[in-house]
């Protein structure tokens, strides 16, 4: 296990390093002058020459990269070009807002996708399976931005069950402390906590539904295929020959073996969700990192773009690491397959 | 009363080329504590027979029988739940490739523990825990694994084939079944392991008073303790009876050929002489001969053989042939 852990950690840091090189290179890849991109100081301004030396533009590129790395480690991402405040200070709330949306959607995707996938596999080629698979294909083929608008039209405009956009009705006057509405409400001393919580939940439904639709359908299909495969494995047959019930077969013998191969796919699905996050947050006017990134791109606020890109990608890497470590611990066979030992 | 009583078991399935009868009126009786070997080449339907008894056949296939009785109870008339209860309580099965038939993501201890009946361990939670652990160790000892602590914590991929087969036998005998079906348990094993497993099975049959239905491909690898033998060919029963009698005085040409083949494999052959075998090859499911399915390959076949022969008896053996060999001189 130690060797496995060390290898995984090594690859994790290697990937982070590559990622930092890419974000560092962005400074030069963005159109325009690199110094202007980073600091907002234009050529010809009096501070330009001083900034050139203070940002060590006169030293080698390696030295500059090392400086950059040092700043990353200190979480110093510079100042936003549009607001002039520290990027990292702003980022905290934006990231928590997005994390709330992402985690809830991911949870919904797992809770909806995996059981339905197993159900479909259990009724392989029966009508239940066909129905689930057809619905999954339909859900899978609808583009997220269009689905969001359809849902708004139906639930918010036509039958008026749910609010159109936003996190919560501003009349509840909940101060944004952490960024996550639900935690904020629980922390606040408002006398309408329960009503506020209900309102926030109603606001959450549409974005979560939109964001979780694609991942849950993907997860459904992966789980279904994997379960069908596992159910045909000899050890499941042997368990069946022991007179075990179908439920016990599915949950005790098939599920762990299905998870073994579905888990790595979850990272991939999480990455997909990050991409859709930007769209969903923009449509539902959600004050998260995705919408912030989009705004930064439009305003050419390069430090923010760099930070959000790096953080989102690093998040995927962290998740990947966690999944790999859990998988290696719970399913020792995977370690064996990969490294031929511990 | 026989423990297992099968009369005219027929299994039919719908293939791409029409309906195929994969098991054709097979009868088999098994007494309590009896070691019975079922011999047949691949495709003869011997595994299907085992699966029909255990009740794990594809539900789309048609299973009909005049009798499929377990201890006097009709298995075919039962609901799947009752059937599972009987299978889980009284029967067990081990397979050819033990490593593939063990769950790769549970330890040996977990898998054996699962097979121990819940009623066997009582007391508080901790008591049950300790009880189960001792039971697992006992079971491992019983199948001849001394190093139980290390094996209990192992995952199947860490085991050798012989040990894995012993573990699957331990799982199989955990609930003290009345019948153990061994589906080619030693086919792909090296000789010493093969010998160990065969001895173990024979020993367990006696010590646990357990019937064993051993499924093998050739006459040479039937258990030394075998009391009765049945031979299947292409889904038809050829001959069954007492081991001694069948091996010494086979009535059916197929039995005769099987015995000769397994003997000749060890005997010295003249240069360039042919290995003794039946002419032709096993027919495919599409082209099953009518009547006696051995017909086209049988050196003694005549016109009559297009009609399926009825069962005939001779002292300790029963056979399905119009022209039996080794008839006693009267």
pLDDT bin (cut points 50, 70, 90) of residue A38 is confident
CA of B106 vs chain A CAs: smallest distance (Å): 9
Q: Find residues 34-63 of chain B whose CB sits inside 8 Å of chain A.
A: 51, 54, 56
Between B219 and B8, the higher pLDDT residue: B8
Output the pLDDT for position A180.
80
Output the pLDDT for position B119.
77
Q: Give the separation between CA A295 and CA A282, rounded to whole angstroms.
A: 9
Average pLDDT, chain B: 83
pLDDT bin (cut points 50, 70, 90) of residue A13 is very high
B285 exposure class (CB count in 10 Å sphere: 0-12, 13-18, 19+): middle
Asked if B97 lies within 8 A of A243 by C-beta distance, the reply is no
Residues of B in contact with A243 (CB under 8 A): 84-89, 91
CA of B116 vs chain A CAs: smallest distance (Å): 11
Asked if A238 lies within 8 A of B84 by C-beta distance, the reply is no
CA B203 vs. chain centroid, Å, equals 17
Q: Each residue of A74-127: pLDDT tens digit?
A: 888 888 888 888 888 888 888 888 888 999 999 999 999 999 999 999 888 889
Residues of A in contact with B157 (CB under 8 A): 333, 336
Which of B56, B85, B89 is nearest residue A240 as measured by Cβ atoms?
B56
Output the pLDDT for position B260.
77
Output the pLDDT for position B275.
66
pLDDT (mean) for A294-314: 88
Output the pLDDT for position B269.
66
| Domain spans of chain A, in order of start | 90-339
Whether the predicted pLDDT of B265 surpasses 70: no
Q: Each residue of B298-322: pLDDT tens digit?
A: 888 888 888 888 888 887 788 888 8
Asked if A243 lies within 8 A of B103 by C-beta distance, the reply is no
pLDDT (mean) for A306-314: 89
Output the pLDDT for position A222.
92
Rg of chain A, C-alpha, whole Å? 24
Residues of A in contact with B115 (CB under 8 A): 242
Between A209 and B192, the higher pLDDT residue: A209
Asked if A330 lies within 8 A of B105 by C-beta distance, the reply is yes
Give the range among A257-271, B24-38, B183-197 with minimum mean pLDDT: B183-197
Q: Is the ipTM of this complex over 0.85?
A: no
Asked if A241 lies within 8 A of B54 by C-beta distance, the reply is yes
Extended strands (E) in chain B: 4-15, 18-30, 35-40, 62-64, 67-70, 73-74, 91-94, 179-183, 211-216, 228-233, 236-242, 312-314, 317-319
CATH fold, domain A90-339, is MetI-like fold (1.10.3720)
**Is B224 in the A-facing interface, judged by CB distances under 8 Å?**
no
Output the pLDDT for position A322.
92
pLDDT (mean) for B198-202: 85
Q: Nearest-CA residue of chain A relative to B52?
A: A241
pLDDT (mean) for A188-214: 87
CA of B104 vs chain A CAs: smallest distance (Å): 7
Rg of chain B, C-alpha, whole Å? 21
Residues of A in contact with B105 (CB under 8 A): 256-257, 260, 330-331, 333
Taking a C-beta distance cutoff of 8 angstroms, is the pair B144, B166 a contact? yes
Q: What percent of chain A has pLDDT over 90?
A: 23
Asked if B104 lies within 8 A of A333 by C-beta distance, the reply is yes
Which of B87, B101, B106 is nearest residue A238 as measured by Cβ atoms?
B101
Asked if A243 lies within 8 A of B114 by C-beta distance, the reply is no
Which of B51, B54, B100 is nearest residue A234 as measured by Cβ atoms?
B100
Whether the predicted pLDDT of B68 surpasses 70: yes
pLDDT bin (cut points 50, 70, 90) of residue A317 is very high
pLDDT (mean) for A168-190: 79
Output the pLDDT for position A306.
87
Output the pLDDT for position A120.
92
Mutate one of A242, A253, A259, A342 to test the B interface: name it (highest B CB count within 10 A): A242
pLDDT bin (cut points 50, 70, 90) of residue A341 is very low
Asked if A333 lies within 8 A of B155 by C-beta distance, the reply is yes
Taking a C-beta distance cutoff of 8 angstroms, is the pair A266, A216 a contact? no
Whether the predicted pLDDT of A335 surpasses 80: no
Helices (H), strands (E): how many in chain B? 9, 13
Output the pLDDT for position A342.
43
Asked if A333 lies within 8 A of B115 by C-beta distance, the reply is no
Q: Give the separation between CA B243 and CA B229, rounded to whole angstroms.
A: 6
- DSSP code at position B213: E
Q: What percent of chain B has pLDDT over 90?
A: 0
Q: Residue A325: CB partners within 8 Å, gap ≥ 6? A: A5, A8
Whether the predicted pLDDT of A340 surpasses 60: no
Count of CB pairs separated by less than 8 Å, A with B: 59
Asked if A260 lies within 8 A of B105 by C-beta distance, the reply is yes
Alpha-carbon distances, residue B185 vs A199, B48, B160, B162, B180 (angstroms):
64, 16, 14, 10, 11
Alpha-carbon distances, residue B55 vs A244, B29, B52, B304 (angstroms):
12, 17, 5, 36
Asked if B100 lies within 8 A of A253 by C-beta distance, the reply is no
Average pLDDT, chain A: 86
Output the pLDDT for position A217.
92
């Amino acid at each position: 296990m130690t060797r496995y852990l060390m290898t995984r950690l090594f690859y994790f840091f290697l990937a982070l390093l590559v990622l930092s090189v890419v974000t560092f290179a962005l400074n030069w890849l963005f159109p325009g002058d690199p110094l202007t991109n980073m600091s907002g100081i234009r050529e010809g301004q009096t501070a330009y020459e001083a900034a050139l030396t203070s940002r060590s533009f006169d030293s080698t590129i390696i030295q500059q990269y090392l400086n950059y790395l040092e700043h990353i480690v200190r979480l110093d991402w510079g100042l936003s070009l549009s607001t002039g405040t520290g990027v990292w200070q702003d980022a905290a709330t934006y990231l928590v807002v997005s994390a709330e949306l992402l985690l809830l959607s991911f949870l919904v995707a797992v809770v909806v996708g995996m059981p339905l996938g197993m159900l479909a596999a259990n009724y392989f080629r029966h009508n239940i399976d066909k129905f689930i698979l057809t619905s999954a294909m339909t859900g899978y083929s609808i583009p997220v931005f269009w689905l969001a608008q359809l849902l708004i039209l139906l639930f918010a405009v036509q039958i008026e069950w749910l609010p159109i956009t936003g996190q919560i009705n501003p009349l509840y006057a909940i101060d944004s402390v952490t960024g996550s509405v639900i935690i904020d409400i629980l922390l606040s001393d408002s006398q309408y906590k329960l009503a506020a919580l209900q309102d926030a939940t109603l606001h959450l439904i549409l974005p979560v539904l939109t964001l979780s639709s694609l991942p849950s359908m993907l997860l459904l299909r992966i789980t279904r295929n994997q379960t069908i495969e596992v159910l045909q494995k000899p050890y499941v047959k042997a368990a069946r020959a022991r007179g075990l019930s179908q439920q016990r077969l599915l949950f005790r013998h098939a599920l762990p073996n299905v998870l073994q191969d579905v888990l790595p796919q979850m990272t991939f699905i999480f990455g997909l969700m990050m991409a859709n996050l930007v769209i969903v947050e923009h449509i539902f006017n959600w004050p998260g990192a995705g919408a912030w990134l989009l705004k930064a791109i439009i305003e050419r606020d390069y430090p923010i773009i760099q930070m959000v890109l790096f953080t989102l990608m690093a998040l995927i890497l962290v998740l990947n690491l966690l999944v790999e470590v859990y998988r290696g611990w719970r399913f020792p066979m995977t370690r064996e397959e990969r490294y031929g030992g511990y | 009363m026989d423990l297992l009583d099968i009369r005219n078991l027929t299994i039919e399935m719908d293939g791409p080329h029409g309906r195929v009868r994969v098991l054709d009126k097979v009868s088999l009786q098994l007494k309590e504590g009896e070691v019975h070997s079922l011999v047949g080449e691949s495709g003869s339907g011997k595994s299907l027979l085992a699966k029909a008894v255990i009740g794990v056949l594809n539900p789309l296939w048609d299973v009909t029988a005049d009798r499929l009785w377990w201890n006097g109870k009709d298995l075919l008339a039962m609901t799947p739940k009752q059937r599972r209860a009987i299978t889980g309580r009284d029967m067990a099965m081990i397979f050819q490739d033990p490593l593939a038939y063990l769950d790769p993501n549970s330890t040996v201890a977990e898998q054996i523990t699962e097979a121990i009946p819940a009623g066997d361990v009582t007391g508080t939670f901790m008591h049950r825990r300790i009880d189960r652990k001792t039971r697992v160790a006992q079971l491992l000892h019983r199948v001849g694994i001394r190093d139980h602590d290390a094996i209990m914590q192992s995952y199947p991929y860490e085991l050798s084939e012989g040990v894995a087969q012993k573990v699957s036998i331990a799982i199989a005998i955990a609930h003290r079944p009345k019948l153990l079906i061994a589906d080619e348990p030693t086919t792909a094993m090296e000789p010493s392991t093969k010998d160990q497993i065969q001895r173990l099975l024979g020993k367990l049959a006696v010590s646990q008073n357990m019937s064993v239905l051993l499924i093998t491909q050739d006459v040479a690898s039937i258990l030394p303790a075998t009391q009765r033998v049945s031979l299947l060919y292409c889904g038809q029963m050829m001959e069954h009876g007492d081991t001694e009698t069948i091996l010494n005085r086979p009535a059916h040409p197929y039995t005769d050929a099987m015995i000769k083949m397994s003997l000749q494999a060890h005997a010295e052959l003249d240069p360039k002489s042919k290995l003794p075998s039946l002419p032709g090859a096993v027919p495919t499911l599409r082209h099953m001969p009518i009547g006696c399915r051995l017909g086209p390959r049988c050196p003694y076949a005549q016109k009559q053989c297009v009609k399926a022969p009825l069962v005939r008896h001779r002292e300790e053996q029963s056979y399905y042939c119009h022209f039996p060999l080794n008839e006693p001189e009267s």
